Amino acid sequence: MKGLGRYWGYLAFIILITAWWTHAAGPVVLLVLSLLVTAFFLFQAPVWCCAINRDRSLCRNNSSGLLLGCSKRQHKWQKLRMTVVPHTWRQVNRGLWASPREGLTTLGALVAMISALAATAMSVAGQVSS
Ligand SMILES: [Zn+2]
């Protein structure tokens, strides 16, 4: 079962989608699951680093999650800085869709974030009506 630890998020993602689909879980469970899946895609999912090298190409080293760079110190900082500085978002965006795997990870993160918002709205609505 070596390496399974890196892939639990995909399983959680499938469970999350299934839970929405079947209405099997309450809003709190959906929210917790959504946040876990979001964190997985942002900080743990296997993707390319995608920091910009000196020759303006994208770094293809393996890294963990969309927000973190590879083991190069400079790339870690660059990724974090790029996330908070608006005029670098075009380049961030390039990295987010660098290959089908990165694209799916990005989509997964977006879906999980929307799911977290929807679950929050549901639980707020539930409290208002009860
Ligand atoms: Zn890198």
Euclidean distance between CA atoms 51 and 61, whole angstroms: 9
**pLDDT below 70 — which residues of the chain?**
1-4, 130
CA of 6 to the centre of ligand 1 (A): 19
Looking at residue 127, what is its pLDDT? 80
Say which residues have a Cβ less than 8 Å from residue 108's Cβ, sequence separation at least 6. Answer: 13, 37, 41, 45
Looking at residue 53, what is its pLDDT? 92
CA of 30 to the centre of ligand 1 (A): 34
22 and 117 Cβ atoms separated by less than 8 Å: no
CA of 52 to the centre of ligand 1 (A): 8
**What is the DSSP code (8-state) at residue 58?**
B
49 and 63 Cβ atoms separated by less than 8 Å: yes
Looking at residue 1, what is its pLDDT? 46
Looking at residue 130, what is its pLDDT? 64
Picking from 91, 93, 113, 112, the residue whose alpha carbon sits closest to that of residue 102 is 93
53 and 72 Cβ atoms separated by less than 8 Å: no
Looking at residue 3, what is its pLDDT? 64
CA of 127 to the centre of ligand 1 (A): 45
Say which residues have a Cβ less than 8 Å from residue 122's Cβ, sequence separation at least 6. Answer: 27, 30
Looking at residue 86, what is its pLDDT? 93
Domain extent for 68: 4-129
CA of 77 to the centre of ligand 1 (A): 10
Domain count, the chain: 1
Which whole-number Å values give the CA distances from 6 to 3, 20, 127, in the listed order? 6, 24, 36
